[in-house]
């Protein structure tokens, strides 16, 4: 049956109730400091949320390279574009509901468009930290639960979109984004999630990583839903042999790894804390429908806004749990078997 691939270096306590939980945003803050230490051209701008986004840690270490613009997300994006045009590597951050939610037009025009038309080596290196994304913002409610940001960002030409699974991977994603050409969007939540990857767990922008081998169904997930996917695969291991892939990079999509996976297993389940339209599930469905059509089931927020509640309650209400993934896997496998009988 399926097993954890030892080269992935996941923590031994992956399936334990005692698995440590850490704010994913802590990884962003640590990554900013590391990026600043490596490159003196790294600058950080924030929109009145320095503590919440953990940009405060960069401000304390490099006060001369930090700018606080106040509640002005549109200005933040335009200012960042101008600074990046002079050669700086600029990180901007706010709640995802406000950036890219509120300042999408400025990101599109001053960052993405100007980067897209620039010559190689002259890209607009603005990196966008979308904090407090997803329904796990909890009591803040629907207005602050950004569920459309991945779709917004992946539609922009030249934009790279990252959705790290835990704090360790978020730190790696932030450091990698500083060295990656062009605009990058990094999405992370507010609440504490299981921290189960390690410094040795492979991470590379644009590459899908296999966290569990399997032959009967491929589960592709990112963000907090990757942990739920691993739990689902464990629950199913005596019934269905599930492969679990970490698709932390939604754009550019690792089409080669994805194609090999679906050719092997013949069916797919995607899982994300985002609208099931336009995000990870949309990207996977678009690709396999053109290249290698197989049954696919998508776990995500089903065309609705969020609501207030604690994260665990909301994950159950919005059908984003391991049990929901288990159900989707069974349905995908049934669809595959039905197609074979035809």
Catalytic positions: 73
Is residue 304 exposed (0-12), middle (13-18) or buried (19+ Cβ within 10 Å)?
exposed
How many whole angstroms separate alpha carbon 35 and alpha carbon 95?
21
Residues 6+ apart with CB under 8 A from 185: 100, 127, 128, 130, 149, 150, 153, 159, 160, 161, 162
Contact between residue 64 and residue 70 where contact means Cβ atoms under 8 Å apart? no
CA 66 to chain centre: 25
> Most distant CA pair in the chain: distance in Å?
67
Contact between residue 238 and residue 270 where contact means Cβ atoms under 8 Å apart? no
CB atoms within 10 A of CB 34: 17
């Amino acid at each position: 049956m399926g097993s954890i691939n030892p080269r992935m270096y996941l923590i031994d306590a992956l399936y334990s109730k005692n698995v440590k939980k850490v704010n994913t945003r802590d990884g962003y803050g640590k990554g900013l400091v590391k990026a600043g230490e490596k490159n003196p051209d790294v600058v950080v701008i924030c929109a009145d949320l320095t503590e919440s986004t953990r940009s405060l840690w960069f401000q304390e270490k490099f006060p001369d390279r930090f700018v606080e613009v106040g509640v002005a997300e549109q200005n933040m994006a335009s200012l960042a574009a101008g600074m990046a045009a002079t050669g700086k590597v600029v990180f901007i951050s706010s709640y995802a509901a406000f950036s890219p939610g509120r300042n999408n037009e400025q990101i599109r025009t001053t960052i993405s468009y100007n980067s897209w038309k620039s010559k190689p080596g002259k890209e607009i290196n603005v990196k966008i930290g979308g904090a407090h994304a997803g329904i796990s913002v909890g009591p803040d409610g629907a207005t602050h639960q950004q569920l459309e940001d991945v779709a917004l960002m992946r539609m922009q030409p030249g934009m790279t979109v990252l959705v790290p699974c835990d704090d360790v991977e978020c730190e790696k994603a932030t450091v990698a984004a500083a060295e990656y050409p062009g605009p990058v969007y990094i999405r992370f939540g507010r609440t504490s999630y299981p921290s189960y990857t390690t410094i040795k767990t492979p991470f590379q922008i644009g590459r899908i990583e296999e966290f569990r081998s399997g032959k009967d169904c491929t589960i592709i997930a990112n963000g907090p839903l990757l942990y739920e996917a691993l739990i689902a695969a464990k629950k199913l291991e005596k019934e269905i042999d599930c492969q679990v892939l970490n698709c932390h990079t939604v754009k550019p999509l690792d089409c080669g790894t994805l194609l090999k996976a679906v050719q092997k297993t013949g069916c797919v389940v995607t899982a994300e804390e985002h609208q099931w339209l336009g995000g990870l599930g949309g990207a996977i469905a678009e690709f396999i429908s053109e290249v290698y059509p197989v049954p696919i089931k998508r776990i995500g927020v089903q065309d609705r806004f969020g609501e207030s509640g604690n994260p665990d309650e909301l994950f159950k209400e919005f059908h984003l749990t391991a049990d929901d993934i288990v159900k989707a896997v069974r349905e995908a496998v049934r669809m595959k078997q039905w197609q074979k009988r035809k």
